[in-house]
Amino acid sequence: MHGTPALSTGSVTLRNARVPAAAMGRIGDGALEAVDIEIVDGRIAATRPTGSAPVAGASHDMDQGLVLPAFVDIHTHLDKGQIWPRKENPDGTWLGALLAVANDRERLWAASDIERRFDFALRCAFAHGTAAIRTHLDSAPPQHEISWALFEQMRERWADRIELQAVSIVGPDTLVNPAELDAVARQVKASGGILGGSVAAYDRSKEAMLRVVEKAGELGLDLDLHTDETDDPAAHALLHLAEAVLETGYKGKVMAGHCCVLTVQDERTVRTTIDKAVEAGIAIVSLPMCNIYLQDRENGNGDVRTPRRRGVTLLNEFKAAGAVVAIASDNTRDPFYAYGDLDGVEVLREGARILHFDHPQDQAWDWVRAVGSAPAAHAGFRYRAVIEPGAPADLVLFRARTWTELNARPQMDRIVLRSGRAIDTTLPDYRELDDLME
């Protein structure tokens, strides 16, 4: 399939394809439809029921194979990626990851180091079929000056391949420090980014959320926060974020990632938090692979044991309540997650298994939006991740025909089209980074 000449010109009809109705803009529709997709000069010209009209020009028979929009990875950490060979997590815990990354950052995160790892990550994502990425950048001063300047360069360098957004990530102590928060926020503003931070079990959580919301409102910035990445039931960062948005009348876009603590809180707290988050218009991002890796490793005495809790937030409940929901890669080969490759197929496949959004089966395809059009619309990407006339023909083509066939294998024989042309899907070799790991 990869050598098909018809897929090299940017003008072709994909015959006998199967497409989720949700990918064609019909929200809440989990049906699969048999269509012919006409591509002209790199854009989708028409989608028609299979065989309903004669096909003119070059064509490619999909043989009932699936076609999905290129992926949107809404929560990543490209500045941390690939450091595992030189800085492992000593015990697999969240705190172990935090301390390991801090040590690596303080010693080695010069612009030249981040640039090579960042570029490596983007080449992986591009080869897998991703068209838009939001990355969080460690931004505690003075790192903010290095990382944001580099991000601006990478955003320009990759503009015709992957659309990039960036979010600041700082600890809660920075959020309640007016001078430090202002310095970070003004750097974010100057770089065209999104303001963010991380708050879990923190005794000044409500104050931290109020301060970051107020600062975002002052500077006209959108927000994206790490909230409640903990199994301590005393954590209420998401609730405090929602309350801050409602109390201040903040009008920007708000996204919250992780929200793990809801899995260990009582039903009344859960319902209050979900309702407030929906009222505040907060989009929720689950990071299933990273959270299942980190959460519930600790039992207080250092023993190795099987985890009891998955750590992933209540995504089905948020979706049912009306929230915009998404899933994403999060970390890749760093102390927060030892694995991963920025592959939207892996995120979708593992998300289905971990989060149980595979039933009812006839609605499972609606979750394709969680790695595509749902986060794309909320984040304001130019790339919309839809299969509609006028949209760019940025598509991923599979031999798999059904949900179970798609999720049963890694789909390494996929074809990735960008502007209607098949790209080289060869992945970069880890050996490229060996000298950075010495």
Instruction: Please name the residues in contact with 209: beta carbons below 8 A apart, sequence gap of 6 or more.
Output: 175, 199, 225, 237, 240, 241, 243, 244
Q: Give the three-class secondary structure for 371.
A: helix
From residue 67, alpha-carbon distances to 106, 130, 188 in Å are: 44, 14, 36
Q: From 204, 166, 170, select the one nearest 184 (Cα to Cα).
A: 170
> Beta strands 130-138 and 163-169: pairing type?
parallel
Q: Give the three-class secondary structure for 65.
A: coil
- CA 71: distance to chain centroid? 9
pLDDT of residue 35: 97
Known catalytic residues are: 229
Instruction: Please name the residues in contact with 311: beta carbons below 8 A apart, sequence gap of 6 or more.
Output: 231, 260, 263, 291, 292, 294, 295, 296
Cα–Cα distance, 108 to 280 (Å, whole number): 39
pLDDT of residue 2: 53
Backbone angles phi, psi at 184, to 5 degrees: -65, -45
- CA 8: distance to chain centroid? 29
CB atoms inside a 10 Å sphere around CB 110: 10
pLDDT of residue 299: 61
Residue pair 164/133 in contact by the 8 Å Cβ criterion:
yes
Cα–Cα distance, 117 to 375 (Å, whole number): 25
317 — alpha (psi -120 to 50), left (phi > 0) or beta? alpha
Q: What is the pLDDT of residues 117-141, one digit of tens each?
A: 999 999 999 999 999 999 999 999 9
Residue pair 223/252 in contact by the 8 Å Cβ criterion:
yes
Q: From 293, 401, 367, 314, select the one nearest 64 (Cα to Cα).
A: 401
Tokens encoding 197: 């931070």
CB atoms inside a 10 Å sphere around CB 225: 29
Tokens encoding 116: 């090579």
From residue 410, alpha-carbon distances to 177, 342, 347, 374 in Å are: 45, 13, 11, 23
CA angle 410, 436, 75 (to 5 degrees): 45
Q: What is the pLDDT of residues 333-379, one digit of tens each?
A: 999 999 999 999 999 999 999 999 999 887 899 999 999 999 999 99
pLDDT, tens digit only, all 438 positions of the chain: 455 788 999 999 999 999 999 999 888 788 999 999 999 999 999 999 999 988 989 999 999 999 999 999 999 999 999 999 999 999 999 999 999 999 999 999 999 999 999 999 999 999 999 999 999 999 999 999 999 999 999 999 999 999 999 999 999 999 999 999 999 999 999 999 999 999 999 999 999 999 999 999 999 999 999 999 999 999 999 999 999 999 999 999 999 999 999 999 999 999 999 999 999 999 999 999 999 999 988 765 667 788 888 889 999 999 999 999 999 999 999 999 999 999 999 999 999 999 999 998 878 999 999 999 999 999 999 999 999 999 999 999 999 999 999 999 999 999 999 999 999 999 999 999 999 998
Instruction: Please name the residues in contact with 107: beta carbons below 8 A apart, sequence gap of 6 or more.
Output: none
Cα–Cα distance, 40 to 12 (Å, whole number): 7
* Residue 13: strand pairing partners: 38, 59
One-character DSSP codes across 166-228: EEEE--HHHHT-HHHHHHHHHHHHHTT-BEEEEESS-TTHHHHHHHHHHHHHHHT--EEEEE-
* Residue 133: strand pairing partners: 73, 164
Percent of the chain whose pLDDT exceeds 90: 90
pLDDT of residue 307: 86
